[in-house]
C-alpha cells in the first residue's frame, strides 16, 4: 500500500507535531524534510560548499544533535534557495514518499514539487508572532538563551526567503486544505488533520 501525506507550511506552525501524530496513528513512516536542509546548512557552517554537502549527504547526518539551532535554521534556508542543492535532495524524498506502508513528509514544497500526487495534503500555518512565541518557548525550555524579538525577526526573515525564492517556493498547493493553528489547541489541530487524512483513505 502506498499513501502519501504532504504537510507544508512555515516554521513553528505545528507541522512537526501533526506529522508525527499522523504517522503514529496510521502506522506510516515520517520524514521531516527540513532536517535534510538543516544538515546541509550545518555542513556549510563547517566550510563545506553547499552543493557538495547536499550531494554527499548521509542518513547519519540527519541525527546530528546540533541541527535545531537558529543559526542552522538560517543556514538551511539559505542553502534551500539553491536549485542544485534542492535537485540533489529530490530523489531521496520522492522514494521515501512512495515507500510501501505509507509516508508522511513535512516541509515547504512537498505538496507542490516533491509529491504533487500525494493522497492527502495540508498547509499548516499560524501568525508569525504566535509561531515565534512557540519557538521561543521551545528554545528556552530546552535551556537555550533566546530573545523573543530576535526569534520573531528570524522567523520573518526565513518566511520571506522561503516564500520568495524562485525554485520551489513555500506555498499552499491548490488541493491542500489550510489549517491555521493560531487560535487552535494542538488537540483541535490534530483532530482536523486526522479527519482530513481519514477522508482520503
Give the residues lining the site for ligand C5P (CB under 6 A).
Answer: 11, 33-34, 37-38, 73, 76-77, 80, 107-110, 158, 162
Supply the minimum distance, in Å, between the C-beta of residue 183 and ligand C5P: 22
Q: Counting runs of H as helices and runs of E as strands, what totals does the chain give?
A: 8, 5
Asked if 181 and 125 count as a contact pair (C-beta separation under 8 A), the reply is yes
- Residue numbers in the known binding site are 9-17
**Shortest CB 161 distance to ligand C5P, Å:** 7
Q: Which is nearer to ligand C5P, 61 or 198 (CB)?
A: 61
Give the nearer residue to ligand C5P in terms of CB position, either 72 or 201.
72
Q: Is 179 exposed, middle or buried (0-12, 13-18, 19+ CB in 10 A)?
A: buried
Report the binding-site residues for ATP. Answer: 9-17
CB of 184 to ligand C5P, least distance (A): 19
The x, y and z cell numbers of residue 197, run together, are: 487524512
- Residue 46 or residue 199: which is nearer to ligand C5P going by CB? 46
The sign of the CA dihedral 95, 77, 44, 52 is positive
Q: Which of 127, 155, 152, 110 is nearest to 11 (CA)?
A: 155
Residues 106, 13 contacting (CB under 8 angstroms): no
Q: Shortest Cβ distance from residue 78 to ligand C5P (Å)? A: 8
Reported in sequence order, the residue ranges of 33-132 that DSSP labels E, i.e. its strands, are 103-107, 120-125
Nearer residue to ligand C5P within complex by CB, 52 or 62: 62
Amino acid at each position: 500500500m502506498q499513501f502519501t501525506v504532504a504537510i507544508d507550511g512555515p516554521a513553528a506552525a505545528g507541522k512537526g507535531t501533526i506529522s508525527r501524530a499522523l504517522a503514529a496513528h496510521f502506522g506510516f513512516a515520517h520524514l521531516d524534510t527540513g532536517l535534510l536542509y538543516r544538515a546541509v546548512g550545518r555542513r556549510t557552517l563547517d566550510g563545506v560548499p553547499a552543493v557538495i554537502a547536499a550531494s554527499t549527504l548521509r542518513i547519519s547526518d540527519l541525527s546530528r544533535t546540533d541541527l535545531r539551532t537558529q543559526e542552522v535554521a538560517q543556514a538551511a534556508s539559505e542553502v534551500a534557495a539553491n536549485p542544485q542543492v534542492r535537485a540533489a535532495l529530490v530523489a531521496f524524498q520522492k522514494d521515501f514518499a512512495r515507500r510501501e506502508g505509507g509516508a508522511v513528509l513535512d516541509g515547504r514544497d512537498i505538496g507542490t514539487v516533491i509529491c504533487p500526487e500525494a493522497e492527502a495534503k495540508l498547509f499548516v500555518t499560524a501568525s508569525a508572532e504566535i509561531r515565534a512565541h512557540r519557538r521561543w518557548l521551545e528554545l528556552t525550555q530546552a535551556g537555550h538563551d533566546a530573545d523573543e524579538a530576535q526569534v520573531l525577526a528570524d522567523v520573518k526573515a526565513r518566511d520571506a526567503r522561503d516564500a520568495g525564492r524562485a525554485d520551489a517556493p513555500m506555498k499552499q498547493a491548490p488541493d491542500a486544505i489550510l489549517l491555521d493553528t493560531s487560535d487552535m489547541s494542538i488537540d483541535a489541530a490534530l483532530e482536523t488533520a486526522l479527519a482530513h487524512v481519514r477522508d482520503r483513505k
